[in-house]
Amino acid sequence: MEIITGTSRPRGSPSDADGAAESAVSAPRRTLGRVSASVAAETRTGLVRRARKIDRVLGETYPDATTELDFDDPFQLLVVTVLSAQTTDKRVNAVRPTLFAAYPDARAMAAADRATLEAIVGPLGFFRAKTESLLKLSAALVEQYDGQVPPRLEDLVKLPGVGRKTANVVLGNAFGIPGITVDTHFGRLARRFGWTTETDPVKVEHAVGELFPKKDWTMLSHHLIWHGRRVCHSQKPACGACTVAKWCPSYGEGPTDPVVAAKLVKTEGRA
Ligand code: SF4
């Protein structure tokens, strides 16, 4: 990925000459009241065009954006996504080789010795609950799908411990079926961009899905999650080092000074 140094204006900064005509939100706003006013005045067509522009620029900013969890097949992705709750992708990636060497498929994991499985997932925290989830999930896959991961949202969300977010991660990344993954980063950025005011993840998913072609949903999810992890943090977003500042009505929510903002940028995801 591109490492943003922030010592000069970011691409897409307000000084770029080509931007003003591309969006109804033509200049960054620094107060929430003005943000609301500028977004409220935007036409639907303007919103769609601005949203897609932001996604295109984020795609250029993060050309390698993908899931940061390692996996070899749908079963592995389903398991590591379940395990990634309340821990980092890096930690999950660290236990993955041992986990799947011991239990390469759902049948093997469903028959796992509980204490052995607990010891393997122990470094991730909540090891009893996570072990229980994996045993139940694997058993359900064996009983209902002959050990295979079903490639349909409506089937995935009925599996123990699998919510809509996990299901969309698996569909998008293991099966190539477009899905929007609304995690905390996605929801926050969608609201900061003025794409939606919804806070319920399912409502965010539907509202944002209407702005983009379905084929773009999976990469859109990666782009927002990567940007949220690296630049547009919950506390103190690095606005002065942000490549989509020009199209963001929340510009100014974090430091706009390039040098100050550059220090806030993380060059890795969930370490
Ligand atoms: S970092 Fe600032 S300008 Fe960039 S997307 Fe987040 S709120 Fe908007």
pLDDT tens column, 39-91: 678 999 999 999 999 999 999 999 999 999 999 999 999 999 999 999 999 99
238-252 pLDDT, tens digit per residue, is 999 999 999 999 999
Report whether residue 255 contacts ligand 1, using a CB cutoff of 6 Å: no
Report whether residue 242 contacts ligand 1, using a CB cutoff of 6 Å: yes
Report whether residue 232 contacts ligand 1, using a CB cutoff of 6 Å: yes
Structure tokens at 124: 């991730």
User: Residue 21: which residues within 8 A CB-CB, separation 6 or more?
Assistant: none
14-41 pLDDT, tens digit per residue, is 333 333 333 444 444 444 444 455 667 8
Domains and CATH numbers, the chain: 19-65+181-262 (1.10.1670.10), 74-174 (1.10.340.30)
CA of 227 to the centre of ligand 1 (A): 9
Q: Tokens 């010891």 sit at which residue?
A: 119
Report whether residue 211 contacts ligand 1, using a CB cutoff of 6 Å: no
* Mutation to probe ligand 1, out of 30, 57, 192, 227 (largest number of atoms < 8 A from CB): 192
Q: C-alpha distances in angstroms, 214 versus 67, 168, 190?
A: 18, 13, 17
CA of 52 to the centre of ligand 1 (A): 16
161-205 pLDDT, tens digit per residue, is 999 999 999 999 999 999 999 999 999 999 999 999 999 999 999
